[in-house]
Chains A and B, each alone.
Chain A
Amino acid sequence: DIVLTQSPATLSLSPGERATLSCRASQTIDNYLVWYRQKPGQAPRLVIFDTSRRATGIPDRFSGSGSGTDFTLTISSLEPEDFAVYYCQQRTNRPITFGQGTRLEIK
């Protein structure tokens, strides 16, 4: 199975700051990397698919980059609703696997 390792485990920032979240795959996944955001007590929501394509309704402060094994989700200027847990997912090889999550918390 492809292992996705997210870093850091926890990221403490203030509203208005820039957030950079990483996801590393144990083998190449081309550009088939997906990001989700999960707010407390809610189901996850799609943020980015295929490395850099924003989902419907996701603001342009969210951007994704990377290829091969190293990927990044960037939030250019944090809003209060962005503080949540973010998961990456690969859709290259079965089984579909997820990273363990990065908790983005208010500093």
Chain B
Amino acid sequence: QMQLVESGGTLVKPGGSLRLSCTASGFIFSDYYMSWLRQAPGKGLEWISSINHRGTTFDYADSVKGRFSISRDNGKNSLYLQMNSLRDDDTAFYYCVRDLTPIVGAGGHCYSGCLGWFDPWGPGTLVTVSS
């Protein structure tokens, strides 16, 4: 049974830093992209960052670029999100997700449908940014 469990969410002051962690089980972690998404309380879903299966390529939403950093440790089946310069509008539930981005073989190229969809999702961890 596939499972993702986030940890690290807490109350932090504006301008502060936080590191979220996610531990995966039930699938071959190193075979998949992974992503972080977030949802402000009572609001919709926002993709914020993705990392490829090897941990060598990254992508970020403009809202977090330059402040957040995604990483992974395939030996520990773990995904991380380093969050710096936190702002009030970063307050949200943060979800760790397995990202089903198609993986193209060496020398190949993706021409369409090259982004991912998400399954499964962790239960989420709440980050509250407030003074």
Query: Which residues of A does B touch, CB under 8 Å?
Result: 30-32, 34, 36, 42-46, 49-50, 55, 87, 89, 91-101
A99–B95 Cα gap in the complex (Å)?
A: 17
Q: Which parts of B110-131 form the interface with A (CB within 8 Å)?
A: 112-124
Residues in chain A near residue B27, CB distance under 8 A: none
CB nearest to B100 among chain A residues:
A49
Decide: B117 and A44 in contact? CB cutoff 8 A. no
A36–B118 Cα gap in the complex (Å)?
A: 9
Residues in chain B near residue A30, CB distance under 8 A: 112-113
A91–B116 Cα gap in the complex (Å)?
A: 6
Query: Which residues of B does A touch, CB under 8 Å?
Result: 44-47, 59, 61-62, 95, 100, 112-124
A77–B5 Cα gap in the complex (Å)?
A: 33
Residues in chain B near residue A97, CB distance under 8 A: 47
Q: A46-B119, A100-B44 are in contact. Are A91 and B62 (CB under 8 A)?
A: no
Q: Is the interface of A mostly helix, strand, loop or mixed?
A: loop
Residues in chain A near residue B123, CB distance under 8 A: 42-43
Q: Is the interface of B mostly helix, strand, loop or mixed?
A: loop
Decide: B61 and A43 in contact? CB cutoff 8 A. no
A65–B107 Cα gap in the complex (Å)?
A: 34
A96–B100 Cα gap in the complex (Å)?
A: 13
Contacts A/B (CB < 8 Å), 24 sampled: A31-B113, A32-B112, A32-B113, A36-B118, A43-B122, A43-B124, A44-B118, A45-B120, A45-B121, A46-B120, A55-B119, A87-B44, A87-B45, A89-B118, A91-B115, A91-B116, A92-B115, A95-B47, A95-B62, A96-B115, A97-B47, A98-B44, A98-B47, A101-B44
CB nearest to B61 among chain A residues:
A95
A98–B124 Cα gap in the complex (Å)?
A: 18
CB nearest to A49 among chain B residues:
B117
Residues in chain A near residue B46, CB distance under 8 A: 98
Decide: B113 and A99 in contact? CB cutoff 8 A. no
Residues in chain A near residue B44, CB distance under 8 A: 87, 98-101
